[in-house]
A and B are shown apart, each in its own frame.
Chain A
């Protein structure tokens, strides 16, 4: 059956609205539990990060905290925002300019009191510091 033109426009407009609505619904559903919140050690100390949820932890790698496990590829270090500290474990090759005393953003989740990182982002140099990290390091307490 060929749809009459008047009806056809109506059908197409409804389909378009349905698509927009569908996209919004789907996005809201996806965002409800898949957005990774950016937290600082202070937030974690205040109990803001639930265990198991994907989060981004930002701060400075504390001087003298970096140590390597016997396997050579798992590292432990402490992220500090000058008011609180969070211990971090990461397995992998650390990125360019990841070092003690530098800024870092780690993606991962809390396992008990330990932050287990899947990905580590370090700043490339002082001019390319991500805005989120700049905020975390210069304004430690919120």
Chain B
């Protein structure tokens, strides 16, 4: 298929004319008449430079962006902790149910061998240890979420 004059013209100015385009120009009077003009345009475009950004621009932009980035960091940290806590809270009812069931089972077993007061004391001690472990685990979530965020940062920037 013969290329269209408009497409050929555009490729010539971009310096991407194909052999097919050259053949078209040789055969097409309208395209041939534009040879010098397009060459001048192509040369002007290829050689056109804009001034380099001022060295002061980067610190200016980064300084202006700093408060927005700080707000984003706070927002991201809050969101990350909230997501981690929400994910951790999801299985909590099941964990509590299993623990209560286990405590009842242990109490039943112990009370067959020991006096009920001593059995109750031992089970309550065990329950307190479980509660402490649970509190420590949930208390560590914000720390772990922050460490994970720091890890992502290090992976991104090496």
Do A and B interact with each other, yes or no?
no
